């Protein structure tokens, strides 16, 4: 028995699919207790709830036989959230008092947002580990301003949006590291332009198609409401299309040392999950929320795999200090999705 | 004996090891050798589907191959889960939590929040409330309102009649009565700034100046009871709670219940202002029938669905409430 265990050879070489073993039922039980404690403590417990949920999700995520681990400190997250609340409250109050004050406050918020987002990325990655090695995020303040403030400004030109998106992702992935090894990102700008072009094409086709349909059906004013609704549903269906295409491009061009990543997300699969989740949440008055969250996470995570070239044994831990959680607190509140 | 992988925290190498526990000490043997007292180790929380790990003081980790065997080993060594983790595991505490959430939320929504908002609104100086409504009138004047076409004499008569009435309670706020021609149908409303706007269209719809007094008393009620501030506080609290609970799924979805819940507060405020108006008319020796006439007119408007949404109670109910009051 002992020998068998010792002789076992890890066969990591080759494609390794990510597996996610969390279930909606188990997360529901965790979630409902967290909601109660969060309400009773007037929100204070939310920091501990976040840590517990993340620990559950991370330890349920396995790659090549090992699971991930979340190390976030609840007290640090609570401090971050308190600061975030004070910032947003201050903005709310000042914006009611006078226009100039609110503009000043808005400029101030916009000014610190890149820094906070950068800190949030650092916090997230530093507090994630795999095989006992922590992830990390480098970069500096001026890079943060370039990528979170200047690049978004480029989107005003519209035609430069795919370029800005590619540069943002390139920075985000190349500055991320596992231990001392930085990730590679080699997606060409052209692929981003292709995704955006397809989106514009599909959206235009949908608009023209619906318009012709409305015209052919001799739509009366009352039916127009239904067409507007149909239009909304069609447009909502396009967001998972964009998400799948862009995620596939991003991850299929990301690597770590000699290893590569693959992402094989399907529009139909994600669309089905989006719509059934929304329906479930409405019908159950929100009780389906934890199930919905697990379903969406499972689909996204299990679409990912790593093409391992040889073995995953050779990564080395980096020396690093703990990151403050203010950025994480603000990012939580502002609901930034940094994965896109 | 428990087989698993050991990571030393310095490299990602997976060491094949066996874990045994002897006399309160955890022993690792195999590709790595260690002996650490149990109370220096941290075990991640119990769950059915997630991997449980052992973390050493220096950040090294042990991940067992067989979670069930690991759980029974933990039981043998007397490991205790925290109370929160045990609550996750039992269906009884899950349903208990669900029931408690419903009760707490309902209590907060129907009693605690209105009470709290009322206290805060009363404590807030009137000048602060005025700040809230700054610019609203200018905006409306530009977009939805035009100068009144009502004869000046009629305007003065209404203003003088209302100024002659006294409020049913002390501390009535100063107000300014404004006449406007409306582009959005018959309406009357009070702004936090203390302005009561009365549209020509509504004056023309109402049978007499007595009914106009009823409408104005209702609007003064909104001002006196600080309804705008209260709804602002209540609305923000409900929206914040909605975002906290359901925000991570869909921003639009989490906003909808807040909107629906706000309508309840809105109808409550209308009823309160109706009562205030009735009290004011009674106090001044005026007949409540004129207030009833107002709701009759509004009831006809409901049918043609102009300007009044379900943010107000049904006009028939409002009239019935006044009739019941007269019967008292």
Q: What is the pLDDT along chain B (328 residues), one digit of tens a residue?
A: 899 999 999 999 999 999 999 888 999 999 999 999 998 999 988 888 888 999 999 889 999 998 889 988 888 888 877 777 777 767 888 889 899 988 998 898 889 888 988 888 888 777 777 776 667 788 888 888 889 988 999 999 999 999 999 888 888 888 889 999 988 778 888 888 888 999 998 888 888 888 899 999 999 999 888 888 888 888 888 877 777 666 555 555 556 667 777 788 888 888 999 999 999 999 998 888 888 888 888 877 765 443 334 567 778 788 888 888 877 6
Yes or no: say if B302 and B315 are a contact pair by the CB < 8 Å rule: yes
State the pTM of this model: 0.79
Among chain A residues, CA nearest to B252 = A278
Residues B56, B166 within the same domain: no
Task: Write the residue in A28, A40, A277 that is nearest to B104 by C-beta.
Answer: A40
Nearest CA distance, B46 vs chain A (angstrom): 9
For B:101-120, CB contacts with A below 8 A are 101, 104-105
Task: Write the residue in A46, A133, A293 that is nearest to B244 by C-beta.
Answer: A46
Residues B184, B46 within the same domain: no
Residue B307, pLDDT score: 38
Yes or no: say if A76 and A84 are a contact pair by the CB < 8 Å rule: no
CA–CA distance, A185 with A201 (Å, rounded to integer): 27
Residue with tokens 């964009």: A242
Q: Of the segments A4-18, A170-184, B43-57, which one has the largest average pLDDT value?
A: A170-184
Residues B165, B268 within the same domain: yes
Among chain A residues, CA nearest to B127 = A97
Q: What digits encode the pLDDT tens for the residues A201-238?
A: 999 998 898 888 877 776 666 677 777 778 888 888 88
- For chain A, say whether B89 makes contact (Cβ under 8 Å): yes
Closest CA to A57 of A92, A96, A31, A82: A31
A99: which chain B residues are within 8 Å (Cβ-Cβ)?
135
Q: Which two tokens stand for residue B280?
A: 């004011």
Residues B71, B219 within the same domain: no
Residues B177, B273 within the same domain: yes
Residues B167, B300 within the same domain: yes
- For chain A, say whether B122 makes contact (Cβ under 8 Å): no
Closest CA to B89 of A289, A39, A52, A33: A33
Residue B257, pLDDT score: 67
Assigned domain for B92 exists = no
A132: which chain B residues are within 8 Å (Cβ-Cβ)?
7-10, 12, 59-61
Assigned domain for B99 exists = no
Is the CB of B249 less than 8 angstroms away from the CB of A281?
Answer: yes
B88: which chain A residues are within 8 Å (Cβ-Cβ)?
26, 29-30, 33
Is the CB of A133 less than 8 angstroms away from the CB of B16?
Answer: no
Please say which residue of B80, B108, B136 terminates a domain: B80
B12: which chain A residues are within 8 Å (Cβ-Cβ)?
130-133, 178-179, 312-316
Assigned domain for B122 exists = no
Write down the ipTM of this complex. Answer: 0.82
Is the CB of B94 less than 8 angstroms away from the CB of A35?
Answer: no
Assigned domain for B106 exists = no
CA–CA distance, A256 with A182 (Å, rounded to integer): 7
For chain B, report the end-to-end CA distance as a whole number of angstroms.
83
Distance of CA A211 to the CA centre of its chain: 34
Residue B306, pLDDT score: 39
Is the CB of A335 less than 8 angstroms away from the CB of B52?
Answer: no
Assigned domain for B94 exists = no
Q: What is the mean pLDDT of chain A?
A: 87
Query: Which residues span the domain enclosing B170?
Result: 127-327
Q: Please determine, for residue A299, whether its predicted confidence score (pLDDT) is greater than 90.
A: yes
Mutate to test the interface with B, among A29, A40, A91, A96 (most CBs of B within 10 A): A29
Residue % of chain A over a pLDDT of 70: 91
Residue A334, pLDDT score: 56
Assigned domain for B224 exists = yes
Domain total of chain B = 2
Q: Which residues contact A267 (CB under 8 A, 6 or more apart)?
A: A240, A241, A244, A245
Assigned domain for B88 exists = no
Give the model's confidence band at A111: pLDDT under 50 very low, under 70 low, under 90 confident, else very high: confident
Beta bridge partners of A63: A66
Nearest 10 degrees: CA dihedral of A281, A283, A286, A287?
-100
A40: which chain B residues are within 8 Å (Cβ-Cβ)?
104
Among chain A residues, CA nearest to B136 = A96
Residues B148, B58 within the same domain: no
Task: Write the residue in A67, A97, A286 that is nearest to B51 by C-beta.
Answer: A67
Q: Which residues contact A205 (CB under 8 A, 6 or more apart)?
A: none
Closest CA to A320 of A115, A116, A131, A122: A122
Is the CB of B50 less than 8 angstroms away from the CB of A277?
Answer: no
Residues B319, B238 within the same domain: yes
Please say which residue of B46, B80, B114 terminates a domain: B80
Residues B181, B277 within the same domain: yes
Is the CB of A36 less than 8 angstroms away from the CB of B97?
Answer: yes
Residues B70, B187 within the same domain: no
Please say which residue of B65, B80, B95 terminates a domain: B80
Q: In chain B, count of helices (H) and strands (E)?
A: 13, 11
CATH of the domain at B31: 2.30.29.30
- For chain A, say whether B88 makes contact (Cβ under 8 Å): yes
- For chain A, say whether B259 makes contact (Cβ under 8 Å): no
Residue A45, pLDDT score: 92
Assigned domain for B121 exists = no
Among chain A residues, CA nearest to B19 = A2
Residues B185, B246 within the same domain: yes
Nearest CA distance, A281 vs chain B (angstrom): 9
Nearest CA distance, B170 vs chain A (angstrom): 28
Is the CB of A60 less than 8 angstroms away from the CB of B16?
Answer: no
Task: Write the residue in A36, A99, A277 that is nearest to B101 by C-beta.
Answer: A36
CA–CA distance, B129 with B131 (Å, rounded to integer): 5
Greater pLDDT, B58 or A285: B58
Is the CB of B94 less than 8 angstroms away from the CB of A32?
Answer: yes
Give the model's confidence band at A171: pLDDT under 50 very low, under 70 low, under 90 confident, else very high: very high
| Cα atoms found within 13 Å of the Cα of residue A332, Cβ hemisphere only | 22
Q: In chain A, count of helices (H) and strands (E)?
A: 13, 11
CA–CA distance, B265 with A188 (Å, rounded to integer): 54
A62: which chain B residues are within 8 Å (Cβ-Cβ)?
51
Is the CB of B49 less than 8 angstroms away from the CB of A278?
Answer: no
Is the CB of A5 less than 8 angstroms away from the CB of B97?
Answer: no
- For chain A, say whether B13 makes contact (Cβ under 8 Å): yes
Residue A68, pLDDT score: 95
Number of C-beta neighbours around residue B173 at 10 A? 15
DSSP H or E stretch at residue A97: helix A74-97
Residues B313, B180 within the same domain: yes
């Amino acid at each position: 028995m002992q020998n068998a265990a010792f002789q076992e050879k890890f066969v990591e070489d080759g494609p390794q699919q990510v597996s996610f073993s969390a279930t909606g039922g188990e997360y529901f039980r965790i979630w409902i207790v967290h909601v109660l404690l969060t309400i009773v403590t007037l929100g204070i417990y939310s920091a501990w709830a976040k840590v517990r949920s993340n620990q559950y999700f991370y330890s349920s995520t396995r790659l090549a036989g090992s699971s991930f681990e979340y190390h976030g400190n609840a007290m640090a997250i609570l401090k971050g959230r308190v600061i975030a609340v004070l910032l947003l409250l201050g903005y709310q109050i000042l914006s009611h008092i006078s226009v100039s004050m609110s503009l000043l406050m808005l400029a101030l918020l916009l000014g610190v947002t890149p820094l906070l987002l950068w800190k949030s990325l650092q916090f997230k990655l530093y507090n994630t580990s795999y095989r006992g090695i922590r992830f990390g995020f480098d970069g500096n303040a001026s890079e943060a301003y370039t990528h979170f403030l200047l690049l978004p400004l480029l989107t005003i030109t519209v035609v430069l949006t795919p370029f800005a998106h590619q540069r943002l992702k390139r920075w985000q992935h190349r500055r991320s590291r596992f231990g001392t090894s930085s990730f590679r990102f080699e997606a060409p700008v052209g692929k981003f332009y292709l995704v955006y072009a397809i989106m514009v094409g599909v959206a235009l086709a949908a608009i023209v198609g619906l318009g012709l349909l409305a015209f052919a059906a001799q739509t009366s004013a009352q039916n127009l409401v239904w067409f507007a609704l149909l239009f909304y549903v069609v447009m909502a269906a396009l967001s998972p299309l964009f998400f799948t295409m862009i995620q596939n491009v991003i991850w299929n061009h990301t690597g770590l040392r000699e290893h590569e990543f693959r992402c094989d997300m399907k529009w139909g699969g994600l669309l089905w999950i989006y719509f059934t989740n929304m329906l479930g949440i409405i019908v159950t008055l929100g009780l389906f929320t934890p199930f919905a969250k697990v379903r969406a996470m499972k689909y996204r995570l299990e679409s990912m795999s790593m093409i391992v070239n040889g073995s995953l044994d050779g990564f080395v831990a980096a020396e690093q200090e703990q990151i403050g959680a203010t950025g994480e607190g603000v990012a939580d509140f502002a609901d930034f999705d940094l994965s896109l | 004996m428990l087989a698993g992988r050991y990571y030393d925290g310095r490299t990602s190498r997976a060491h094949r090891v066996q874990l045994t526990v002897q006399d309160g000490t955890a022993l690792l043997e195999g590709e790595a050798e260690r002996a650490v007292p149990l109370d220096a180790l941290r075990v991640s929380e119990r769950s059915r589907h997630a991997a449980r790990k052992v973390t050493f003081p220096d950040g090294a980790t042990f991940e067992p191959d067989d979670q069930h065997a690991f759980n029974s080993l933990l039981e043998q060594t007397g490991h205790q889960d925290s109370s929160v983790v045990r609550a996750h595991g039992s269906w009884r505490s899950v349903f208990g939590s669900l029931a408690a959430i419903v009760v707490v939320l309902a209590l907060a929504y129907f009693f605690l929040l209105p009470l709290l908002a009322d206290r805060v609104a009363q404590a807030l100086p009137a000048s602060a409330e005025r700040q809230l409504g700054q610019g609203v009138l200018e905006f409306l004047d530009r977009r939805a309102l035009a100068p009144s076409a009502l004869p000046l004499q009629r305007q003065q008569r209404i203003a003088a009649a209302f100024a002659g009435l006294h409020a049913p309670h002390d501390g009535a706020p100063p107000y300014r009565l404004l006449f406007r021609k409306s582009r959005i149908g018959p309406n009357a409303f009070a702004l936090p700034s203390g302005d009561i706007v009365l549209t020509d269209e509504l004056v023309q719809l109402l049978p007499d100046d007595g009914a106009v007094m009823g409408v104005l008393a209702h609007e003064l009620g909104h001002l006196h009871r600080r309804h705008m501030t209260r709804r602002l506080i209540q609305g923000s609290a409900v929206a914040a709670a909605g975002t906290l609970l359901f925000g991570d799924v869909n921003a639009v979805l989490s906003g909808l219940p807040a909107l629906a819940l706000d309508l309840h507060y809105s109808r409550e405020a209308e009823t309160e202002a109706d009562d205030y108006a009735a009290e004011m008319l009674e106090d001044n020796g005026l007949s409540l029938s004129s207030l009833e006439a107002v709701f009759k007119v509004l009831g006809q408007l409901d049918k043609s669905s102009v300007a009044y949404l379900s943010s107000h109670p049904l006009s028939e109910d409002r009239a019935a409430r006044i009739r019941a009051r007269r019967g008292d």
